[in-house]
Structure 1
């Protein structure tokens, strides 16, 4: 009988080493570590919450209207209290995380994709495209993003798809201008000129040589922009032109609790706290990414990791 051995390929060892290095850099920044753990919890709630707690979050119990927090007599779901219809706030916050995160992720992905492609073209082209595309970004940025979203959503149905589309359009100039600035600087570098001499097509140079170089910058911007989009969606829901009942988001929960601030502050406090902590965690993680992805500043985290080790 021959013994079976698990063979670990060099590529697997390389991936393990890379993951270990990332975790060490993250552990060197304790605030970023806490932020990452909190965001993992939020993502888990967004994925599993609607599946596990949707029935609990929508079940009405008029005897528990505006139930105070930390009253476990009604069950664990009422640890944060109940809303104006006796529905448990904890379950509703967990379920609402799904819609809030879906809108934010959708808007960031769409704006990142469209904006980076337009930015690559605008930065590389020396003809009409290089002049027209930046002017398009200037036109969009000339309108306040929240005001533009309000105007469009007044004319359209306030559905999830429309909110994602509106918020994505308002954020496209951020990625377009960032990508264009990076391309304008990189197209004069030696490796780009060498690729041109070797006969590489402009498309190949943009997507295989330049784009990987600016992905760290775009990742940092997207992480920070994620918090802005989430706050914008919460603002729209608070104004009553975002997600409509029976769907729920954190911003809508804050808006629904506004009439009860004097006698049931917890209706708006807990979803508002979730918004604040998520935005703060995204900002802390964005700051860590900016340092970790910059070779000239990464030594700060590496030195911190050695001291902690």
Structure 2
């Protein structure tokens, strides 16, 4: 009597984004960092629309009001500044300019640097050398010093600040992209695409760029923290964004004369900068493993063992 075997269908694999979310849930530090950054982004998007009037309203009776006075309105829970304006509301409103400058500079430098890196890594030697020498010229100047010189000659504004910081960060993405392209272009699937007659544009954007992109995203996350610190430093020096616009770095500078009797004016926005930078670094370390197919098995094994 013949025995018939019935094959059971294999369960469908979960979507990639769901697997990444599960790995993020297992890493509590990265999860807390992601939640904090989502809160910061929410404040940057909706804060000025909801609290702009409150953040600019002066109340001289509340000058340098101390923090953690729960009897007052919630916008005064972190204290008041030298003009009696609520510090918490001003920090929420200031998040928009801080995030706007950092995001604009990172996105612009990433797009330009990646495009130039793809050209330098997959074209003729002369073009590659010209692009790399241009990157060497930019890197020969300290980024913060170059920003100080340019902003001293130009009017300090959000647009000029984004352009200056983007220019100083282009070589990071350019050199990384070129190095990755030089390695990926020698792999068998790229050579097979060349043999089959695929165009250069198709090879670069369909086969090479998806391999390079996770590395660039990780670098952009780290670079976001660096650009935010650079913007805060320029605003602290007085050559960044000027009042009545406000950023966290400018708030630290405005509270400097009151450090002896109202330390919270500089401490609170400085703490926001520290926590945002720390969250970006924690999230970038997790993304470095999660977005790399070669290293992702470490998180998957940790998830299965638990």
Please classify the TM superposition score into its range, dividing by the shorter chain length. over 0.9
Q: Deviations over 1:224-270 (max 9, x none)?
A: 10000000000000000000000000000000001110110000000
Instruction: Give 1:299 shift.
Output: 2.0
2:160 aligned residue (159, 162, 167): 162
Q: In 1, Cα distance between the equivalents of 2:228 and 2:67? A: 26
Q: In 2, Cα distance between the equivalents of 1:209 and 1:236? A: 40
In the TM superposition, what are the counterparts of 1:223-262 in structure 2 within 5 Å? 223-262=221-260
Q: Deviations over 1:62-108 (max 9, x none)?
A: 11110000123431111000001100000000000011001110000
Structure 1 range deviating more: 17-26 or 205-214: 17-26
Structure 1 range deviating more: 20-29 or 80-89: 20-29
Q: In 1, Cα distance between the equivalents of 2:184 and 2:17? A: 29
Give the TM-score of the pair, scaled to structure 1: 0.93
Instruction: Give 1:16 shift.
Output: 6.8
Instruction: Give 1:19 shift.
Output: 2.8
2:141 aligned residue (123, 140, 143): 143
Asked if 1:221 is matched to 2:205, the reply is no
Residue of structure 2 in register with 1:293 after alignment: 291
Residue of structure 2 in register with 1:175 after alignment: 173
Residue of structure 2 in register with 1:211 after alignment: 209
Structure 1 range deviating more: 20-29 or 175-184: 20-29
Asked if 1:110 is matched to 2:103, the reply is no
DSSP-derived class of the 1:263 partner: coil
In the TM superposition, what are the counterparts of 1:57-76 in structure 2 within 5 Å? 57-76=55-74
Give the TM-score of the pair, scaled to structure 2: 0.94
Q: In 2, Cα distance between the equivalents of 1:85 and 1:305? A: 52
* Aligned residues: CA RMSD: 1.4
Structure 1 range deviating more: 244-253 or 287-296: 287-296
Instruction: Give 1:15 shift.
Output: 10
DSSP-derived class of the 1:72 partner: coil
Q: Deviations over 1:122-181 (max 9, x none)?
A: 011123111110111011001000000000000111110000000000000000000000
Q: In 1, Cα distance between the equivalents of 2:13 and 2:224? A: 27
Q: In 1, Cα distance between the equivalents of 2:20 and 2:160? A: 37
Q: In 1, Cα distance between the equivalents of 2:13 and 2:166? A: 33
